[in-house]
Amino acid sequence: MKKTFFITTPIYYVNDVPHIGHAYTTIAADVAARYKRLAGYDVFFLTGTDEHGQKVQQAAEQAGREPQAHVDDLHVRFKELWVRFSISNNDFIRTTEERHKKVVAEILQKLYDAGEIYKDSYEGWYCMADERFWTEKDLVDGNCPECGRKVDKIKEFNYFFKMGQYRDWLVEHINQNENFIQPRSRRNEILGFLKKPLDDLCISRPKERLSWGIPLPFDDQYVTYVWFDALINYISVHGHLEQIKDSDYWPAAHQLIGKDILTTHSVYWATMLKAIGLPLPQNIFAHGWWTVNGQKMSKSLRNVVEPNRLIDQFGVDVIRYFLLREVPFGLDGDFSHKALIGRINSDLANNLGNLLNRTLNMLKKYFKGELPKPDVKGDEDAPLTAKSAEVIKQVDALYDELAYSKILAKIWEFLDAANIYVNDTAPWNLAKTDDGKKRLATVLYNAAEACRVTAILIAPFMPETADKMMKQLGIDTPVDQQGLDSIKKWGWIQAGTQTHQGTQIFPRIEDKAAAKILESVTLGDDDSISEKPTEANGKGQITIDEFMKVDLRTAKILEAEKVKKSKKLIKLKVDLGTEQRQVLAGIAEAYEPEQLIGRTVILVANLKPAKLMGHESQGMILAGSNDQTLILGGFDGDLPPGVRVK
């Protein structure tokens, strides 16, 4: 039976300049798509651009152009960036394409004929920037609650989709399908939203106010509301409604979005699908935002991280790796050049690059670059092969959760094991004796196979690097043809293979070069990366970069118990929204375990795990003390688990 996998990104608004946030979502989808292909799935990966709406019409008018010509030029920026980022999408859909417009019209007519759409007068506050209406109670200080901009009062006739009637059904669906909305904090957010009555959705705009859109098939004096139009892209790519129902790719396995468009996807889109009789996607995953030095990226702040410049400076695979390794997928992340350079040096140069480079060096030195046949096996070999099997299994399970940071951490555990194996077996000593040389063949064969296994595992994240590693290992078979099955049994690589050592795949960025890079990152043009480091003034002061290395998160305490034989330690199980962790806290003299259940605390989430009294602690809880009383840090109001504290 054919295994299929359909994954989507949101379609990006064509007026936006592509930034690191767009790249983040698209790379995340690409990694999942590439992994599923390695696993033998028939994959369909979709991305595209949203090209209708008032902002596009106004921008075209200001430029003295027709809207179609305007979007024809702008959408190319996204296509070109995805090529640079090695994105393997199967299709790129535009909402101005005929194939999309036909399906939108078909769905509108079907819903209208079924009585799901009606016409009524409407009076409300309209935000031009977000292209949506708000009620009086929604406004914040008289402005749009989403963007904070001025709103205009508008009264007009429009068409409405009977979305409100599906509220109870949607609540039930979310409760019965735990993975429908992820991470859990976003699921709770939507359930909270649905506790209030759900209004019907205005799905039209009068042509006299907005002409750039898909005309309603039953009233040509109106065009379709941009969100109703845009959401249909996920199915219009598969053809008309009957073709969609028979498609192997619907429902989608994952629809990846930013958290700012969660409501439109988990409420608008879900109810639209229900009304037209199609199943809902298996999973809508709303990830967090990237900030720069703790601030949201903004043209006005001149701190937009421009992806093309990052690629020019550091290379494609470095950026792909960093974005998905640095922050758990689902949480907000903060971009820092210092952190990026740190990852290059520690993870990529010292670990990955070091293993490949010294393996090839020793093969060249001791076997003229030819991979020897394994001969004498030793007790040191078993932990390496066992670790490989363990990590492959764990990685596969973590892909179901889109836990990219954890996946990479697991792969690097295997890399650590491989480097330790080389150190412990000491090939340079084995080469000194005849008996040792027999053992040396096995050790270097295993080191080369460890490099190949690593290359397969990192291929979804760093496809160019995986290809370079295979070339240096002398393997002509492409990664996708080797597949995941090739690493499930140790020993795929053939003895006698001639390796071809090249330049180091990830050279270190030395201190002087790093300092020069950081100094050069200054406030500049709108498309520049602005992140000039601040010097610390005075003893004991730190820079904002140093502070931002500490990842502080809200954590909800689920379980608490005292640690036996310890007067101070309490063992906690805490919820971080995307995961649960065990944390040990020295608070037993100030709190009883039952006092802590349900409490939201502040957790240092990126602290290296440590063992205390035989128990692993995966973080640290913050508290204050006046030398007599210890008090846990907390908040005035309620916050969901996993929120960044800054």
Q: Output the pTM of the full model.
A: 0.79
| Maximal C-alpha separation, the chain | 92
- 290 pLDDT higher than 50: yes
Contact 602, 554 (CB under 8 A): yes
- 20 pLDDT higher than 70: yes
- 300 pLDDT higher than 80: no
pLDDT value for 146: 73
Crossing angle, helix 463-473 and helix 434-458, to 10 degrees? 150
pLDDT value for 56: 92
- 529 pLDDT higher than 70: no
pLDDT value for 526: 34
Contacts 24+ apart (CB under 8 A), 184-192: 184/575, 184/577, 184/578, 184/641, 185/330, 185/577, 185/578, 185/640, 185/641, 185/642, 185/643, 186/259, 186/262, 186/266, 186/286, 186/330, 188/640, 189/262, 189/640, 190/262, 190/263, 190/266, 190/267
pLDDT band at 626 (very low <50, low <70, confident <90, very high): low
Contact 147, 127 (CB under 8 A): yes
pLDDT band at 132 (very low <50, low <70, confident <90, very high): confident
What share of the chain in percent tops pLDDT 70? 93
pLDDT value for 544: 58
**Overall average pLDDT of the 166-174 stretch:** 98
- 130 pLDDT higher than 80: no
- 26 pLDDT higher than 50: yes
- 294 pLDDT higher than 70: no
pLDDT digits (tens, 9 = 90+) for 252-266: 999 999 999 999 999
**Overall average pLDDT of the 361-385 stretch:** 92
pLDDT band at 627 (very low <50, low <70, confident <90, very high): very low
- Read off the tokens for 398: 């973590």
pLDDT value for 533: 38
Peptide bond into 217 cis (omega under 30): no
pLDDT band at 535 (very low <50, low <70, confident <90, very high): very low
pLDDT band at 548 (very low <50, low <70, confident <90, very high): low
Q: Residue 269 has what DSSP assignment? A: I
Strand partners, 373: none
Look at the block and give the residue holding tokens 């990479």.
Answer: 408
pLDDT value for 154: 82
- 523 pLDDT higher than 60: no
Contact 606, 550 (CB under 8 A): yes
pLDDT digits (tens, 9 = 90+) for 35-62: 999 999 999 999 999 999 988 999 999 8
pLDDT value for 525: 36
- 329 pLDDT higher than 80: yes
What span, in angstroms and rounded, lies between the C-alpha atoms of 194 and 181? 14
pLDDT band at 181 (very low <50, low <70, confident <90, very high): very high
Contact 123, 155 (CB under 8 A): yes
Phi, psi (deg, nearest 5) at residue 124:
-165, 180
Contact 353, 505 (CB under 8 A): yes
pLDDT digits (tens, 9 = 90+) for 417-464: 999 999 999 999 999 998 898 899 999 999 999 999 999 999 999 999
Max mean pLDDT among 315-324, 372-381, 523-532 falls in 315-324
Torsion, CA 33, CA 36, CA 40, CA 42, rounded to 10: -40
Domains of the chain: 292-536 (1.10.730.10), 550-632 (2.40.50.140)
Contact 334, 292 (CB under 8 A): yes
User: What mean pLDDT, rounded, does the chain reach?
Assistant: 89
